[in-house]
Amino acid sequence: MRHLAIIGSGPAGYYTAEAAQKLWGEDVRVDIFDRLPVPFGLIRTGVAPDHQSIKGVSRRYENVALSDNVRFVGNVSVGSDVSIAELQGLYDAVVLATGAPHDRPLDLPGAELANVFGSAQFVGWYNGHPQFAGLDPDLSGRTAVIIGNGNVALDVTRILAKTRAEFAGSDIVAHALDILAGSKIDRVVILGRRGPHQIAMTPKELGELAHLARACPRVNPGDLPEDGEDALLEPGQRKSVQHLRSFAAIPEAHRQEQPVEIEFDFFAAPKAILGTSQVEGVEIERTRLEGGRAVGTGETYVIPASLVVACIGYQTSPIPGVPFEESAGRFANHEGRILPGLYCVGWARRGPSGTIGTNRPDGFAIIERIAEDIGEGTSKPGRPGFDALAQSRGLDVVTFRDWQKIDEAEIQRARQDSPREKFVRVDDMIEAAKRP
Ligand code: NAP
C-alpha cells in the first residue's frame, strides 16, 4: 500500500490524485488537504464567475473525490495545524499542489495606496475567497487602470465592464455584485508594457470584449505592427492580434453608443502610483521594444484613476524548510522533486502559466516519478496516523461529504439567476457542513 498526501485541492491536486488512482487502483490511499473547508481551489476562487463552463471541470474532480481511496481533508492548514515534516513521517510521498495564491508584488512607489489591489485580492473578492471577501473596493471614480496584458487582466476588465444583467447565470458573490452594480467606472485602461504582439491574452477571452452590453474596446491603430508581421506569430497569438485589429477598426459612431470604454494602452510601463491616501492616478512611461524587451523612452504621462488592479502574475507561498526559488515564485525543484519524499506539481512546480488542462499531464508525470521513488510503498502509517494526530490536536476536519452539505446549502441560497450563493466566511461554511 502507498500513502500519499496532496496539499491543495485545486486542479493540480485532483489531477495528481486521479493519476495515482489510475496507476495503483486499490493499492493507494490519497489524502487531499486544503486550508479551506471547500475544495477545488482555483476553480472556485480563481476562474471568473461568468465562466461557468470552465468551472464545470470540478465534476470530474468529484468523481475522483468520491472514490474510497481518495479523501478530502478540508479545514486543515499545512504549516500551522500540521507541519510538512509531520506529514512526511506519516505518508510515503507529500505533494505540494498549493498553486500560486499570492500576487507578485507591484514594485512601484505608491503601490501601498488605498484602492490599489493585486489580482489575487480583487479576483478573490468577486469570487468570495474568505481571505479577500472584505476587500470593499471603491468603485465611485470613473477610471480604472489594469496593469498587465494576460488573461487575468481580461477577467478583471470584463467584470468591471459588465452590467448587472450580464452576470445572470454566474456565481459572482452578492457583495461584489452589489458594489459593481453601483460602479461609476466608465473607462478601463489596460496597460501593456510591451506591444500587441507580446500580449499573453488568449483569443477566446479577448474576443469576449467585443460582445459586452455597454462596453466597447479601443485599440490605437498606430500601436499595431504591419499586417504582414502577424505571419510570424504562432496561430493562437495571431488570432488574438486579429481581435486587436478588429477592435481598432470599430467605427467611432458605434463606440459613442457604448457608455463604457475599454482602452488598450500599449508600450506603457507604470512608473508610480500617485495619490495621498487613495490612488488618484498612474504615472506611465512610454516604452519601445529592444530585442523583445520594453525599454523606457523617457516620455511620461499621467492617467488620472481611482482604482488600480495589478494583474502581473502570481506566486506560490513559501513554506518554512521547503527550498524556494524566489525569482520564479515557486518551489525549487527538479522535475517536481524537491527533497526525498517531497514533491510539487502544477503552479507550485512550474509557476503560474498554462491552462487548467496543463495540470493533468503534470499530475500524471509527478505520479510516475513518485512511483519510481517509492516502489511498493513503505510501512508509513498513512490515514490512521493522520487521524490520530488530528484528534490529539482537536482539528475540525471537513470531509468531502461535509463539503457536499456546504455545496447543497450554497445552491439552496442562490439568487434566482445564479447557480449558487457562496459562503464567504469559514465559520458559515463549517456551520453548513455540520448541519444535521
Ligand atoms: P500572465 O499571463 O503571465 O500575464 C502577466 C502580464 O503582466 C504580462 O502581460 C506581463 O507583461 C505583465 N507584467 C508582469 N510584470 C509587470 C510589471 N512589473 N509591469 C507591467 N506589466 C507587467 O499572468 P496572468 O494574467 O496572471 O495569468 C496567469 C495564468 O492563468 C496564465 O497562464 C493565464 O493564461 C491563465 N488564465 C487563463 C484564463 C482563461 O483561460 N480563461 C483566465 C485567467 C488566467 P510581460 O509579458 O511584458 O512580462
To test ligand 1's pocket by mutation, which of 53, 151, 156, 330 has the most ligand atoms within 8 angstroms of CB?
151
Q: How far is the CA of 312 from the centre of ligand 1 (A)?
A: 5
Q: How far is the CA of 411 from the centre of ligand 1 (A)?
A: 32
Is the CB of residue 130 below 6 angstroms from any atom belonging to ligand 1? no
Q: Is the pTM of this model over 0.85?
A: yes
pLDDT digits (tens, 9 = 90+) for 1-44: 999 999 999 999 999 999 999 999 999 999 999 999 999 999 99
State the helix-helix crossing angle for 119-126 and 174-181, rounded to 10 degrees: 100
To test ligand 1's pocket by mutation, which of 116, 193, 266, 285 has the most ligand atoms within 8 angstroms of CB?
193
Is the CB of residue 198 below 6 angstroms from any atom belonging to ligand 1? yes
Q: Which residue has the cell 512526511?
A: 88
Q: How far is the CA of 151 from the centre of ligand 1 (A)?
A: 6
pLDDT digits (tens, 9 = 90+) for 278-334: 999 999 999 999 999 999 999 999 999 999 999 999 999 999 889 999 988 899 999
The percent of residues in the chain predicted with pLDDT above 70, rounded, is 100
DSSP state of 144: E
pLDDT digits (tens, 9 = 90+) for 416-436: 999 999 999 999 999 999 988
Domains (range + CATH), the chain: 2-101+316-433 (3.40.50.720), 104-314 (3.50.50.60)
Which atom of ligand 1 has the smallest separation from the CA of 153? 25
Instruction: Check if the beta carbon of residue 195 is closer than 8 Å to that of residue 269.
Output: no
Secondary structure class of 276 (helix, strand, coil): coil
pLDDT digits (tens, 9 = 90+) for 228-278: 999 999 999 999 999 999 999 999 999 999 999 999 999 999 999 999 999
Reading phi first (left if > 0) and then psi (alpha if -120 to 50, else beta), residue 226 is in beta
Which atom of ligand 1 has the smallest separation from the CA of 104? 15
pLDDT, position 69: 93
pLDDT digits (tens, 9 = 90+) for 54-97: 998 888 888 898 898 999 999 999 999 999 999 999 999 999 99
Q: Is beta strand 102-103 parallel, antiparallel or unpaired with respect to 314-315?
A: antiparallel
